Amino acid sequence: MGISMKENVIIVGSGPAGYTAALYTARANLMPLVIEGATPGGQLTITTDVENYPGFVDGIQGPEMMTVFKEQAERFGARFISGTATDVSLDTAPFTVTVDEDATYSANSIIVSTGASAKLIGLESETKLMGRGVSACATCDGFFFRDKEVVVVGGGDTAMEEATFLTKFASAVYVVHRRDTLRASKIMQARAFENPKLHFIWDSVIEDILSGNQEVVTGVRIKHLPTDETYEKPISGVFIAIGHQPNSDLFVNKLTMNETGYILTSNGTTTNVPGVFACGDVQDWTYRQAVTAAGSGCMAAIDADRYLAEHHEILSPALNTTA
């Protein structure tokens, strides 16, 4: 397994952050190489309508949006590899990235944009109906459930925040929690209990998400844990709010992270390793929006460009032959 010709910058991951970083580094003549990951385009590829990204008056489908992002970066010379980074060496530049335990690439700078994944219940129907009534982002999708009844799964601050937000649109929001008390902070609990649109289904779990003969959510099957009794409840949407997991395992003990695995950055997108930058949801545990991810991708590209200009000789197209 040999190492390819050295790159200026390798972008690990795609999605709004990675594709935007690719666009900006390509326009800076850095000829970025993008390792797209297991889900090229990131979480937006499992989203249907995107209506809160500026510039798309009539909205746009998530997969189509990511295709447009990628094609725009390709127009300026960004190159893409369909594969998953399985190992990285960040001890000293040039850094190396191994893809699918096969090919190894090296670069003087790395941009990490591997994103984060919503923690899911683990139901087959949950995966099947994701983007078709099942969501992990109330801010993204709440608008589509105006005057409809929805369920929120979870009992922590995230669940209370999502549930409270959804009451702006939904006619009723049912919080399904496996315990008889919430884990959320006292202030979040107080706000939730005072909201007349919020209702609580205690000591219960979602056993299945129903769609009937349709391709959208029509209801849920709820199991009451103390009695093992199950019943079906008609519902239009299911919001999973049991947390997110940053896709940062590859960088454990290599980049500084917080206690939940998000990569820590300072002065923009700079990590603890000079020349390595992080952007998007892998370092953002607060906003988790496509537009903020794209913005941080732009920041990482500019940070990488400035780093390379100061510390390394920029490789020209004639010196680089990586396909």
β-strand partners of 245: 117
Q: What is the 3-state secondary structure (H, E, C) of the chain?
A: CCECCCEEEEEECCHHHHHHHHHHHHHCCCCCEEECCCCCCHHHHHCCEECCCCCCCCCEEHHHHHHHHHHHHHHCCCEEECCCEEEEECCCCCEEEEECCCEEEEEEEEEECCCEEECCCCCHHHHHCECCCEECCHHHHHHHHCCCEEEEECCCHHHHHHHHHHCCCCCEEEEECCCCCCCCCHHHHHHHHHCCCEEEECCEEEEEEECCCCCCCCEEEEEECCCCEEEEEECCEEEECCCEEECCHHHCCCCCECCCCCECCECCCECCCCCEEECHHHCCCCCCCHHHHHHHHHHHHHHHHHHHHHHCCCCCHHHCCCC
Q: Is the dihedral of CA 181, 187, 190, 192 positive or negative?
A: negative
Question: Same structural domain for residues 149 and 235?
Answer: yes
Catalytic center residues: 137, 140-141
Q: Are 188 and 208 in the same domain?
A: yes
Do 132 and 235 reside in the same domain of the chain? yes
Q: What is the pLDDT of residue 44?
A: 80
* Domain boundary residue, one of 240, 258, 289: 240
Among the three residues 200, 217, 240, which one is the final residue of a domain in this structure? 240
**Threshold 0.85, pTM exceeds:** no
One domain, residues 147 and 287 = no
Pairing outcome for strands 149-153 and 244-246: unpaired
Q: Is there a single domain that holds both residue 143 and residue 235?
A: yes
The answer to whether residues 129 and 216 touch, using CB atoms and an 8 Å cutoff, is yes
Find the Cα–Cα–Cα–Cα dihedral 290, 293, 299, 304, rounded to 10°.
-120
Q: Count structural domains, the chain.
A: 2
Q: Are residues 192 and 50 in the same domain?
A: no
Identify any residues that bridge with 276 across adjacent strands, giving them in sequence order: 110
Does some domain include residue 2? no
pLDDT value at residue 321: 46
Angle at 79 (CA atoms; ends 76, 82), nearest 5 degrees: 145
Query: Quick check: 175 and 163 in contact, CB under 8 A?
Result: yes
109 falls within a domain:
yes
Residues 107 and 255 in one domain: yes
For residues 248 and 108, membership in a common domain is answered with yes
Q: What is the pLDDT of residue 48?
A: 65
Task: Work out the angle at residue 28's Cα, subtended by the Cα atoms of residues 22 and 33, and round it to the nearest 5 degrees.
Answer: 35
Q: What is the pLDDT of residue 38?
A: 82
CATH number, domain containing residue 184 = 3.50.50.60
pLDDT of amino acid 314: 86
- 219, 240, 261: which is the final residue of a domain? 240
Q: Is residue 129 part of a domain?
A: yes
Indicate whether 37 belongs to any domain: yes
| Domain assignment present for 1 | no
Whether residue 94 is preceded by a cis peptide bond, meaning omega within 30 degrees of 0, is yes
Whether residue 125 is found in the same domain as residue 113: no
Q: What pLDDT is recorded for position 137?
A: 87
Q: 179 and 69 in one domain? A: no
> Mean pLDDT by 10-residue block, N- to C-terminus, for the chain (323 residues)?
79 96 98 91 75 91 92 97 95 94 94 92 93 90 95 93 94 97 93 96 97 91 98 97 92 97 96 98 91 97 97 72 46
Residue 308 lies in a domain: yes
Residue 45 confidence (pLDDT)? 72
Judge whether 142 and 238 are in contact, CB under 8 Å. no
**Does any domain span residue 48?**
yes
**What does the pLDDT read at residue 34?**
97
Residues 145 and 167 in one domain: yes
Quote the domain boundaries for residue 259.
7-117+244-319
Indicate if 219 and 313 belong to the same structural domain: no
Task: Examine residue 12 and state whether it is found in any structural domain, yes or no.
Answer: yes
